[in-house]
Amino acid sequence: MCGICGFNWKDDNLVARMTDTMIHRGPDQQGVFCAEGISLGHRRLSIIDLSEHGRQPMSNEDGSIRLVFNGEIYNFQELRADLEARGHVFASHADSEVIVHAYEEFGVESIHKLRGMFAFAIWDASQQTIFLARDRIGIKPLYYHLSNGRLTFASEIKAILENPQIERKLNRQALYDYVGFEFVPAPNTMFEGINKLPAGCCLLYKNGAIHLEQYWDLNFDPAPQHLSYSAAVEQERQLLDEAVRSHLVSDVPLGVFLSGGLDSSAIVAMMRRHITGPIKTFTIGYHDKTFSELDYAQQVADYFATEHQILMIDDLQTEHVEKALWHLDEPMTDLSAVPLFLVCQQAKKHVTVCLSGEGGDESFAGYDRFKASRINRWFSVIPAPIRRGIIEKLVDALPDQPQKKGAINMLKRFVEGSSLPEDGAHLRWQYFTTEQRNRMLMKNDLFNVCDDPFRQVRDAAAKCDANDSVNKEIYLDMRFMMTDSVLMKVDKMSMASSLEIRVPLLDHVFVEFMASLPGNWKLKGLRTKHVFRSALDGILPNNIVNRGKQGYSLPVKNLLRGQLKEYMIALLNESPIIRHNMNIEYVNRLISEHLAMKHNHNHVLWALMNIAVWQHKFAVHD
């Protein structure tokens, strides 16, 4: 895993500064290349071929092609054999060199041959072009800025900001979108003028202009062989095993994050098939058992005889919040970000690579919101005057519960979500505000000038070719939400500690197979991940196969009522960006209601706190 950067002019000092900014992404080696019309920088975390031969920027034989690459190509050995048969000569054993020769052989179409997680840039001197590409799922990030024909790109925004000509200005539409979604949907970032390259897209720069193209999307064509359910279960099991096995290729120690949930437990089970020696597993724990999965994780660790380590998080230091946000580059309010940041620090003491179970809830329909969508079809039959005039008022008056998933909490979230637009109903437990609340929270010159955030949900849904509601919701999760929230968090929090995280459940071949299966095999009644659970019968203990979704999110709502109370009040009342864009009286009303346990406003308050810290850390102006 690495950090890459560059731009389309020659400046040794600037590219060196950009590269140094990302030393955490690659402490093992640094490399730069500068020539007329190009500057490239690279920080390397050595995983495969630890020698100097794997150093980047990497070139072909005559130096006409230069590559900087971040990620892993899991089919590089097969590709290498094919390219050598075509006459290409390799100077290293690194997976990155495969990209160089594949581009030589196939041009930009070479991207379709890569199986892995990646973000890379290729300078083609003969064509005077820069080719940027990001993997299909969006596991690895890539940002760019274009102004007056000048293209700047990097793995992290903070590297792009090393260019003093690039303004640190707030993107106000991104702010509006972020408050509800808790992330900034691509292609925007919270910085005006700096964009994300969307997942499954590539960009070609030439003569001062860019051409952006989507080269892959998630399709839901039925399995061509019309598999029976039992045959699909068996094929799913085989593809899972293959995906995990391919992700074990490494010249450095590796481990796995084990939450005790179905996805991470499945990965441990498949790893045990291919590793006879010790497997190191890492788990986050809290003393508040309603937020903790320690017992389940320990059960799986014992079952597969792993070397298990537990990181107990007793309190949360404000310095952890602020450091994690600096690494994120822009606000992203996932409540598990800081715990992940801390457990990555712990894991790095023992390994350089960790496998993790991200993507399973999206691909297999594992979140509670899939169940909520189904229940909503029954709830929506109730006449609107009864729903809004009676039920919503009664539920709104119920007090908040300190537990993570108390019955009252779940009911309040469900009913509040019923006010969302129909095309956003699936997001009822993922969209954390309402239009009515935004009107009270945001000042008029923000609320009135910004577009409806659900425009992006509608745009994403329009691209989906699924013909059943569950698969349509899976598409929305995977192609709209997951990349810029879950996967961005995983990349940034792991690379902050120079730790590589691999996500075998998002192997695109495995993902494409899962997409070919009917939605009612994934959500059967109210049973989430139905077909995935079937594939793990007999492999995992029964109670692990059948347990519900919990997750390891931080107990933020309780921390805001205790340890972080004064920090929250001071931060939100003193922040220039909050005072300029939000109605501070309403912000303090939310604080008061949260502290009195009248309502749980932790998501909105935590989102605003992240905005305030971000502005301070990055010296952003409105």
Taking only the tens place, the pLDDT of each residue in 350-391 is: 999 999 999 999 999 999 889 888 887 777 777 777 777 777
Average pLDDT over residues 576-602: 94
Ranges 69-78, 97-106, 139-148, 445-454: which has the least confidence: 445-454
Strands 280-285 and 307-312: parallel
pLDDT of the residue at 51:
56
Q: How does pLDDT run across 43-84, given as a tens digit for each residue?
A: 987 666 555 666 889 999 899 999 999 999 999 999 999 999
pLDDT of the residue at 405:
62
pLDDT of the residue at 215:
98
Strands 143-147 and 150-154: antiparallel
pTM of the model: 0.94
Strand, helix or coil for residue 277: coil
Report the alpha-carbon distance of residue 148 to residue 209 in Å, rounded. 9
Q: How does pLDDT run across 23-33, given as a tens digit for each residue?
A: 999 988 889 99
Report the alpha-carbon distance of residue 265 to residue 244 in Å, rounded. 12
Report the alpha-carbon distance of residue 269 to residue 499 in Å, rounded. 22
Alpha-carbon dihedral angle through residues 49, 52, 58, 59, given to the nearest 10 degrees:
-110
Of 159, 152, 195, 203, residue with least CA distance to 9: 152
Report the alpha-carbon distance of residue 188 to residue 171 in Å, rounded. 8
Average pLDDT over residues 150-158: 98
Higher pLDDT among residues 2 and 539, named by residue: 539
Report the alpha-carbon distance of residue 342 to residue 511 in Å, rounded. 29
Please state, as a whole number, how many other Cβ atoms lie within 10 Å of the Cβ of residue 37: 13
Report the alpha-carbon distance of residue 137 to residue 539 in Å, rounded. 27
Q: For Cα atoms 121, 6, 3, give the angle at the middle one, nearest 5 degrees.
A: 70
Q: Kindly indicate the confidence band of residue 521, based on its pLDDT and cuts at 50, 70 and 90.
A: very high
Answer whether residue 224 shows pLDDT above 70.
Answer: no
- Let me know if 2 is a catalytic residue: yes
Higher pLDDT among residues 122 and 556, named by residue: 122
Report the alpha-carbon distance of residue 141 to residue 377 in Å, rounded. 37
Please state, as a whole number, how many other Cβ atoms lie within 10 Å of the Cβ of residue 538: 8
pLDDT of the residue at 622:
84
Q: How does pLDDT run across 378-430, given as a tens digit for each residue?
A: 777 777 777 777 777 777 777 776 666 667 767 777 777 666 777 777 776 67
Q: How does pLDDT run across 276-331, given as a tens digit for each residue?
A: 889 999 998 877 666 667 889 999 999 999 999 998 876 778 888 899 999 999 99
Catalytic residue among 2, 5, 354, 464: 2
Q: Rounded to 5 degrees, what are φ and ψ at 198?
A: -65, 155
Average pLDDT over residues 179-192: 95
pLDDT of the residue at 553:
67
Q: In the chain, what are the domain boundaries?
A: 2-214, 229-308+334-365+481-546, 555-622
Q: Kindly indicate the confidence band of residue 549, based on its pLDDT and cuts at 50, 70 and 90.
A: confident
Q: Which amino acid is at 146?
A: L
Average pLDDT over residues 448-472: 91
Answer whether residue 502 shows pLDDT above 70.
Answer: yes
pLDDT of the residue at 335:
80
The set of residues, in sequence order, having a beta carbon less than 8 Å from that of 187 and lying 6+ positions away, is: 195, 196, 197, 198
Is it true that domain 229-308+334-365+481-546 has CATH number 3.40.50.620? yes
> How is residue 377 written in tokens?
């079809």
CATH superfamily of 2-214: Aminohydrolase, N-terminal nucleophile (Ntn) domain (3.60.20.10)
Higher pLDDT among residues 51 and 253, named by residue: 253
Higher pLDDT among residues 92 and 293, named by residue: 92
pLDDT of the residue at 476:
94
Of 579, 332, 581, residue with least CA distance to 449: 581
Contacts 24+ apart (CB under 8 A), 461-467: 461/423, 463/217, 464/220, 465/219, 465/220, 465/221, 466/220, 466/515, 466/519, 467/220
Task: Give the N- to C-terminal CA distance of the chain in Å, as an integer.
Answer: 34
Strand, helix or coil for residue 205: strand
Instruction: Give the rounded percent of residues in the chain with a pLDDT score beyond 70.
Output: 93
The set of residues, in sequence order, having a beta carbon less than 8 Å from that of 609 and lying 6+ positions away, is: 321, 568, 571, 572
Going by the DSSP 8-state scheme, the letter that residue 403 receives in this structure is: S
Beta strands of 279-407 (E only): which ranges?
Answer: 280-285, 307-312, 353-355
